[in-house]
Amino acid sequence: MILLGSTGSIGVNALKIAEQFNLSIDTLVAGRNISLLNEQIKRHNPKRVVVMNEADCSLVDHDSVRSGEMAILEAIEESSSQHVVNALVGFTGFRPTLKALECGKKIALANKESLVVGGSFVDTSNIVPIDSEHFGLWYLNQGNRQINRMVITASGGAFRDWSLDKLASATLVDALKHPNWSMGQKITIDSASMVNKLFELLEARWLFGEGEYDALIETKSLIHALIDYTDGSTTAHFAHADMRLPIAYALMGRVDTPIVDRIDLTRVGNLEFREIDKARYPVWEIKNDLLKNPSRGVIVNAANEAAIQRFIEGNIRFIDISAMILRAYESFHTAPESVEAVFALDQEVRNYVRGLS
């Protein structure tokens, strides 16, 4: 496989599946964690390696090392592997998704932004999602029953139990204290603001087509997806939150080997469900409109990434992230009509958010 984002949590789990099922690694693409990358190179012996920064090339223990976005695209094109795992973070993952599809490769997609910003330009027939929620929806949707609604779950993020009056004083350290697990910086902030779940609903819309989609909070993160059928029944996908399960299916199509431990419901005891409150998660205000106008996802993503950068730099408060996203959504109404227009609109929205006070 070609693994984009090898040193992140999804990349690490993809390599565990590769070891378990003896899958070869053609290409590794990583960011700044060069020490872990070198361990992966030693263990998996890839043909080529790409890193983010040119200055890190000399630190990588491999004969074929390149750097930068163009090097990623070239590696995808050069490789004979037909499987790409795209676990890159944010808008950076969009071009590699397009390149992989252009080359006729199959994509195990964790980079939800590829569909959020440019779903109308992406052929989803060669994409298998590896987010737990979309895998859960796919897993449940294997019969011929008529679907009424698809639902995904959220943890609620770092501030799900905070009083609303405290949110104005929330710090970056606070935002990174996820209640259920440890993830990367951006996705943890997105979880706290509920932007991550907004994006996952939009991704589901592109993957499974028009229909009714919604989300709710399940505090233990044991249920990842539910489907309501027209006969009034509902099914739910239970599994421990372990990315190896969707990755294994994405790479091999069918899995008959134990991947994760079975959930013992007698030990779980009880589950708690909550509505997603717009007062706590203001971005939920645009959920329905965004699902009706999915091509506007690029506006939300660009505003979110620009606002998060300002939050990390200490220039704005946590609650300002959602406020800036909503202001951008109100200010930009264009639906891009080409891939080039996606990139142009992305830059325009980022500049707008950087200038907000």
Tens of pLDDT along the chain (357 residues) come to 999 999 998 999 999 999 999 999 999 999 999 999 999 999 999 999 999 999 999 999 999 999 999 999 999 999 999 999 999 988 999 999 999 999 999 999 999 999 999 999 999 999 998 889 999 999 998 877 899 999 999 999 999 999 999 999 999 999 999 887 777 899 999 999 999 999 999 999 999 999 999 999 999 999 999 999 999 999 999 998 888 888 988 888 778 888 888 999 999 999 999 999 999 999 999 999 999 999 999 999 999 999 999 999 999 999 999 999 999 999 999 889 999 999 999 999 999 999 998
Domains in the chain, start-ordered, CATH in brackets?
2-129 (3.40.50.720), 134-292 (no CATH), 293-357 (1.10.1740.10)
Say what angle helices 318-331 and 195-208 make with each other, to 10 degrees. 40
Beta bridge partners of 151: 214, 226
pLDDT at residue 189, rounded to an integer: 96
Measured in whole angstroms, the distance separating CA 266 from the mean position of its chain's CA atoms is: 31
Letter for the amino acid at 128?
V
pLDDT at residue 255, rounded to an integer: 81
pLDDT at residue 157, rounded to an integer: 94
Q: Phi-psi category of 219—alpha, beta or left, where left has phi over 0 and alpha has psi -120 to 50?
A: alpha
Sign for the pseudo-dihedral over CA of 24, 56, 304, 298: negative
Burial bucket for residue 56 (CB in 10 Å: 0-12, 13-18, 19+):
middle
pTM of the model: 0.91
pLDDT at residue 206, rounded to an integer: 96
Q: What is the DSSP letter of 170?
A: -
The rounded distance, in Å, linking the Cα atoms of 351 and 306 is: 8
pLDDT at residue 165, rounded to an integer: 95
